[in-house]
């Protein structure tokens, strides 16, 4: 166990270094960082001074080391667009995005799993076919269109739910939460549905496929042969085995949701990291882009690591290096 954990941890660090290197390259190959930091009328002496203070007169590997050190301390420089430290901006926006992504993931599980089970067990029923076709429409509908239509229906025509922002938030230390006020919860509904659309369809299809696969295996056949009831077979054996990959994929998807929130946040003006990032792309605000990349990378790597550990604990058969399974 310990060896496994250490190996995984080392791999994660390597991945983070790779992501960090990409972010570092963003800084260094997209224009002169010194020129970005100083006013145009700065003198050559000013430039040299800043160059030195930033360690830019050092060889690149030393510079990269400095970048990593700064990154570890959360120092990614100043946003070119807003003129404020990037880390501060990200910390302010992080709770909004995380709350949105978590809610969407939860929706995905709560709706996707039952729908998946249903479509697997009642393969030929009319409802299953509707669900399946519906899920295909769900995958084919661009996220922003869903958002626009939801706003049009529920905010403008019916006037039930707010169309933008987070409502009132409560500050708990560094964390600002919208879960504790009525307006905060209401504001969450439409964005969460929009963002949750994809995970619902994905989880449903995944549960269905896994369930069908498991139902075909020998031991289920054996269980049936033993005379167990359908209910016991389906929920006692099949579902249990299905859920392992489902948790994994959902866990991995959480990272994807955080990144995917970019679109939802734009449509609903949700003040999260995604909105910050898209504005950074439009303005070529490299420090924000680099920091966002590192943060998302970190979240991904952490989730991957946790899922791997969970796997290890949950399923003894999988106590082999999953990496060797990666390239089947």
Partner 1 sequence: MINFRKLLSASVLLATLLLSSAATVSTAAAPANTKILRYASQDDPQTLDPHSANLTPTNRVISQVYESLVARDKDFKIIPGLALWWSNPDAKTWRFKLRPNVKFHDGSPFTADDVVFSLERTLHPLSQLKSSVQGVASARKIDDLTVDFVMKEPNPVLLNHLYQFRIMSKIWASKNNALTPQNYKSNEDTFASRNTNGTGPFSVKLRQPDVKTVLVANADWWNNASKEKGNVTQVEMLPIKSNATRMAALLSGEIDFVLDPPQQDVARLKADPNIRIAEGHEARIQYFAFDQFRDELLYSSVKGKNPLRDLRVRQAMGYAIDVNAIRQVVMRGLSTPTGSIVPPGTQGYSKEADKRLPFDREKAKALLTEAGYPTGFSITLDCGANQPPADICQAVAAMLTQIGIRTTPNIVPLANYFSKLQKFDTSFYLLSWGATTFDSFYTLQALLNTNSGEQSSNGDSNYGRYSNPKMDELIGKIKSEFDMKKRDGWIGEALLLNQRDIATLPLHQPVIPWAMRKNIEANFAPNNIAYFFRFKKN
Partner 2 sequence: MVDLMRRFFDSDIWHSFKRNPLVIAATIAALICLFAASLAPWIAPHNPFDLKTLNLLDAFSPPAWIAAGKSEFLLGTDDQGRDVLSTIMHGSRVSLVVGICAVFLSMVIGITLGLISGYVGGALDAFIMRVADIQLSFPAILIALLIDGVARAVIAKENHDQVAVYVLIFAIAASGWVQYARTVRGSTLVERNKEYVQAARVIGRRSLAIMFSHVLPNVMGPVMVLATLHVGTAIITEATLSFLGVGVPPTQPSLGTLIRVGNDFLFSGEWWITVFPGLALVILVLSINIIGDWLRDALNPKLR
Residues within the interface to partner 1 (CB under 8 A): 37-40, 78-85, 92, 148, 151-152, 155-156, 159, 162-165, 168, 170-172, 179-181, 240, 243, 247, 266-269, 271, 275-276, 279, 282-283, 310, 314-315
The entry of partner 1, partner 2, none near residue 31 (CB within 5 to 8 angstroms by kind) is partner 2
* Spatial separation of the C-alpha atoms in residues 1 and 314, rounded to whole Å: 13
- Toward partner 1, which CB reaches closer, 40 or 227? 40
311 is in the binding site of which of partner 2, partner 1, none (Cβ under 5 to 8 A by kind)? none
First to last CA, the chain: 24
Where does residue 103 rank: exposed (0-12), middle (13-18), buried (19+ CB within 10 A)? buried
Q: What is the DSSP annotation of 221-250?
A: HHHHHTT--HHIIIIIIIHHHHHHHHHHHH
Decide which of partner 1, partner 2, none touches 141; Cβ closer than 5 to 8 Å per partner kind.
Answer: partner 2
Could you tell me how many residues make up the chain? 328
* 326 contributes a contact to partner 2 by CB under 8 A: yes
Q: What are phi and psi of 78, to 5 degrees?
A: -110, 135
Q: In the complex with partner 2, which residue's Cβ is closer, 182 or 282?
A: 282
Contact 76, 87 (CB under 8 A): yes
- The DSSP secondary-structure symbol of 16 reads H
Closest distance to partner 2 from the beta carbon of 151 (Å): 9
Name the one range near partner 2 by CB under 8 A: 90-98, 103-111, 217-225, 285-293.
Answer: 285-293
160, 186, 188 from 182: Cα distances, Å? 13, 6, 10
Instruction: Determine whether 90 is exposed, middle or buried from the number of CB atoms within 10 Å of its CB (0-12, 13-18, 19+).
Output: buried
Candidates 45-53, 57-65, 222-230, 278-286; binding stretch for partner 2 (CB under 8 A): 278-286
Strand residues in 72-194 grouped as ranges (E): 170-172, 175-177
157-216 residues near partner 2, rule: CB under 8 A: 212
The reply to whether 87 sits near partner 2 by the rule CB under 8 A is no
Task: Give the integer Cα–Cα distance in Å for 202 and 198.
Answer: 6
Written as one string, the DSSP assignment of 33-72 is HHHHHS-TT--HHHHHHHHHHTTTTS-HHHHHHHHHHHHH
Of 38-46, 108-116, 280-288, 311-319, the window that binds partner 2 (rule: CB under 8 A) is 280-288
Q: Considering CB distances under 5 to 8 angstroms, the limit depending on partner class, which of partner 2, partner 1, none binds residue 264?
A: none
* Residue number, 184 or 292, with CB nearest to partner 2: 292
230, two tokens: 């359908």
Q: Which region among 52-60, 91-99, 111-119, 279-287 touches partner 2 (by CB under 8 A)?
A: 279-287
Q: Which stretch binds partner 2 (CB under 8 A): 55-63, 91-99, 165-173, 273-281?
A: 273-281
Binding site for partner 2 (CB under 8 A): 15, 18-19, 26, 29-31, 133, 136-137, 139-145, 148, 152, 156, 212, 252, 255-256, 259-260, 262-263, 266, 277-278, 280-282, 284, 286, 289, 293, 296-297, 300-301, 304, 326-328
């Amino acid at each position: 166990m310990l060896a496994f954990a250490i190996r995984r941890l080392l791999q994660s660090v390597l991945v983070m270094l790779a992501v960090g290197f990409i972010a570092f390259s963003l800084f260094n190959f997209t224009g002169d960082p010194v020129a970005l930091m100083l006013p145009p009328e700065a003198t050559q002496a000013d430039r040299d001074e800043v160059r030195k203070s930033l360690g830019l007169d050092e060889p690149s590997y030393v510079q990269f080391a400095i970048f990593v050190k700064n990154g570890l301390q959360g120092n990614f420089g100043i946003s070119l667009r807003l003129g404020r430290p990037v880390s501060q901006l990200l910390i302010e926006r992080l709770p909004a995005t995380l709350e949105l992504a978590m809610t969407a993931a939860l929706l995905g599980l709560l709706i996707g799993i039952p729908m998946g089970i249903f479509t697997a067990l009642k393969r030929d029923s009319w409802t299953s076919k509707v669900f399946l076709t519906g899920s295909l429409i769900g995958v084919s509908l661009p996220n922003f269109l869903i958002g626009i239509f939801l706003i049009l229906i529920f905010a403008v025509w019916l006037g039930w739910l707010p169309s933008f922002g987070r409502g009132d938030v409560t500050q708990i230390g560094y964390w600002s939460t919208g879960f504790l006020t009525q307006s905060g919860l209401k504001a969450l509904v439409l964005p969460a549905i929009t963002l949750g659309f994809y995970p619902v369809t994905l989880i449903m299809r995944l549960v269905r496929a896994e369930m069908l696969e498991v139902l075909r295996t020998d031991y289920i056949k054996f269980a049936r042969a033993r005379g167990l009831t359908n209910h016991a077979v389906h929920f006692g054996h099949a579902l249990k085995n299905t859920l392992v990959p489902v948790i994994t994929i959902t866990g991995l998807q959480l990272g994807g949701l955080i990144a995917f929130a970019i679109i939802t946040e734009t449509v609903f003006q949700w003040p999260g990291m995604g909105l910050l990032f898209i504005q950074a792309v439009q303005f070529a605000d490299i420090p924000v882009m680099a920091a966002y990349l590192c943060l998302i990378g970190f979240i991904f790597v952490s989730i991957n690591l946790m899922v791997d550990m969970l796997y290890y604990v949950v399923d003894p058969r999988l106590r082999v290096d999953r990496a060797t399974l990666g390239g089947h």
